[in-house]
Amino acid sequence: MRLLARLLEPKATAYAHCDLPCGVYDPAQARIEAESVKAICQKYADNADPEFRTRALQIKEERSELVKHHLWVLWTDYFKPPHFEKYPQLHQLFNEATKLAGAGGTKGSADVSKADELLGKIEEISKIFWETKQG
């Protein structure tokens, strides 16, 4: 019996935005995390304490990962083919934004200007998102 249970046990666990498609999406989640990243970058630059700076980097990297997660949820779950047809720049915009939240951007750097760039991309996504909610 144990062998059968082990054979039937899932090999991978899937994670989703919700346990069921809730239909609640908002770029504000990504923006709030990105604002946190920017604030941490500023605090990091203003503080010379090595322990504080180490902790700040850890938190900044976690928040950057959350930005990517929230962007991916919008990109893969909310936006549909008609949105990409109407806004052909959307795929490129999401690609650039997630890269700015990744190792080449805020996750790998404490540069405030990278956080500002990320916030700018999120604002562009947000503008399109709210246009799609109007129609």
pLDDT digits (tens, 9 = 90+) for 75-94: 999 999 999 999 999 999 99
pTM value is: 0.83
Q: Which domain holds residue 127?
A: 27-134
- Give how far Cα 44 sits from Cα of 2, 39, 47, 48, 105, Å: 52, 9, 5, 8, 16
Q: Which residue has the higher pLDDT, 59 or 18?
A: 59
Considering the domain boundaries, does residue 15 fall inside one? Answer: no
The number of distinct structural domains making up the chain is 1
- CATH code assigned at 32: 1.20.120.400
Q: What is the mean pLDDT of the chain?
A: 91
Q: What is the pLDDT of residue 66?
A: 97
Given the structure tokens 């935005």, which residue do they identify?
17
